[in-house]
Amino acid sequence: MEPITFDNQVAVVTGAGGGLGRTYALELARRGAKVVVNDLGGTPDGTGASRAADRVVAEITEAGGEAVASYDSVSTPEGGAEVVQRAIDAFGTVDIVVNNAGFLRDRSFPKLSLEELHGIVEVHLLGAFYVSQPAFRVMKEKGYGRLVFTSSAAGLFGNFGQANYAAAKMGLVGLSNVLALEGATCGVLSNTIAPVAASRLTEELLGDAAELLAPDLVAPMVVYLASKACDVTGEVYSAAGGRFARVFVGLAPGWFAGKGLQPTAEDVAAHIADIRSEDGYAVLTNCFEETALLQKQLS
């Protein structure tokens, strides 16, 4: 297979001052991309700021690559637009966006404050929206682009004490799926990853497993999804420890009460095993496919 390269391409990586984002930025640059390293430089709970992006830019340039730093917060429309403008001002365009910025404010649901909810949603979900929208406009006009969103096992499957984080992370799946549909006619592909890797956000949670979950073992999936070699869109991939797997939502046939009949709650209870059965599921790519399946069943 031909090597995957990014010559003459421009990539924006948010939250790239450390951890997974740093790994993505370094690998994209090593393969020829010009990279905007965006990072506010905050702490794991999202407070404070530093010039963490400068260190990653230095690593890239010292290795012979091209990169510029961006310190804008993605949590506002203005900040998101500035990140993309940084790419245009420095390199003339944007071809790739890897939405990686984020932090944690874990709290059990009864104790979760509105500040802890809004802070997470503003950076993870709205931040990805604010960066991707101006980038999408550029990509649509030029007829090419790659968007990579970062979800999480917490969003896909749930995790105790992460209601805010999980809600934002699952929201990113929906956002990516819509952009995959809207981008299909103009060469813009959009996919989502759910990484598991040791970082300052997760090292305490992973314990001894951390040594098996280095961030650079996730990077190959991101690099592929960001490349011209990628021909999939609207999909979700788990990436952890060098293992890569597709995650999907399936719609099973379920149980149909019968044409013209009025089912009751008791009917649902009596047939819950059939309703819950996973046999014969379908993986849909848009909401109209469900309507088509439903029409077939009802007829």
| Catalytic residue selected from 165, 224, 237, 281 | 165
- How far apart (Å, rounded) are the C-alpha atoms in residues 148 and 21? 12
Is residue 165 flagged as an active site residue?
Answer: yes
Beta strands 96-99 and 145-150 are parallel
Distance separating alpha carbons of residues 83 and 76, to the nearest angstrom: 11
CA 22 to CA 56: how far, in whole Å?
7
Sign of CA dihedral 74, 75, 78, 79: negative
- The residue to which tokens 């949670």 are assigned: 205
The identity of residue 100, as a single letter, is N
Radius of gyration for the alpha carbons in the chain, expressed in angstroms and rounded: 21
Cβ-proximal residues to 20 (8 Å cutoff; 6+ apart), any chain: 100, 150, 195, 197, 199, 215, 218, 219
DSSP structure class, residue 67: E
Catalytic residues: 165
